[in-house]
């Protein structure tokens, strides 16, 4: 991963088209490297989550070119790279597993090197449906949350101050019902990122295995279609 982060770090410092075109081969090498790792990740995660098995790298990865229409910083390229493994691919709207690399000094810096799972920014109707299931099947959800509690944390930055209307304030799952986005994140230590890649692969796969019950809980709501 060191080669990939080195390129992203340089891109962060020279984020304009002329530099990018002069260093296009470095980008191609970093992109190819990341895609190869993603391919291995799909294969390994698919061993415990069948919904991932038939994905391609293209189903899971993103363009480096930035959509500047919605960005305050008018820079043309992303300074991070990521892969999102979820049923039917990244645009499907399903909960999944996310692997993210980003130089710590990035102008777009938000995450750094990290792992995530769950569902980001669901539609209002889907968010209500997920809360309904948490309310009605709270013990099952707590078990799913407990399975990943050692290494993951919930996105408490996107949370209502109070339990949404329709749910009791004293519900045992009140803190989960307050969530606006149902995502969990885990640290990706530097010693893993810059160490042996097979060791990194094993580390990421084990963390994703821990997150599977949360994804399953959310995706069963999505597959139910009553939202």
Instruction: Give Cα 73 to chain centroid, integer Å.
Output: 23
Asked if 75 and 66 touch (Cβ cutoff 8 Å), the reply is yes
| Neighbouring-strand partners of residue 179 | 159
Residue with tokens 């982060």: 5
How confident is the model over 49-101, as pLDDT tens digits? 999 999 999 999 999 998 766 666 678 999 999 999 999 999 999 999 999 99
Asked if 100 and 114 touch (Cβ cutoff 8 Å), the reply is yes
Q: Rg of the chain over CA atoms, in angstroms?
A: 19
| Neighbouring-strand partners of residue 65 | 77
Q: pTM, whole model, 2 decimals?
A: 0.93
How confident is the model over 202-225, as pLDDT tens digits? 999 999 999 999 999 999 999 987
Token pair recorded at residue 108: 């777009």
Domains of the chain: 2-224 (3.30.930)
């Amino acid at each position: 991963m060191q080669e990939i982060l080195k390129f992203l770090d340089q891109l962060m410092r020279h984020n304009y088209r002329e530099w990018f075109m002069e260093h296009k081969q470095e980008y191609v090498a970093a992109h190819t490297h990341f895609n190869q790792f993603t391919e291995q990740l799909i294969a390994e995660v698919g061993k415990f989550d069948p919904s991932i098995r038939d994905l391609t790298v293209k189903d899971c990865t993103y363009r480096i070119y930035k959509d500047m229409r919605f960005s305050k910083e008018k820079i043309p390229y992303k300074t991070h790279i990521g892969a999102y493994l979820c049923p039917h691919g990244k645009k499907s709207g399903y909960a999944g597993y996310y692997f993210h690399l980003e130089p710590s000094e990035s102008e777009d810096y938000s995450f750094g090197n990290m792992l995530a799972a769950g569902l980001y920014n669901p539609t209002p109707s889907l968010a209500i449906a997920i809360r309904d299931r948490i309310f009605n099947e709270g013990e099952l959800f707590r078990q799913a949350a407990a399975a990943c509690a050692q290494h993951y944390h919930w996105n408490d930055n996107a949370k209502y101050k109070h339990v949404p209307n329709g749910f009791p304030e004293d519900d045992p799952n009140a803190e989960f019902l307050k969530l606006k986005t149902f995502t969990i994140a885990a640290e990706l230590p530097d010693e893993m990122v810059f160490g042996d890649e097979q060791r990194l692969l094993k580390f990421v796969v084990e963390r994703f295995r821990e997150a599977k019950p949360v994804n399953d809980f959310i995706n069963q709501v999505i597959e139910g279609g009553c939202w």
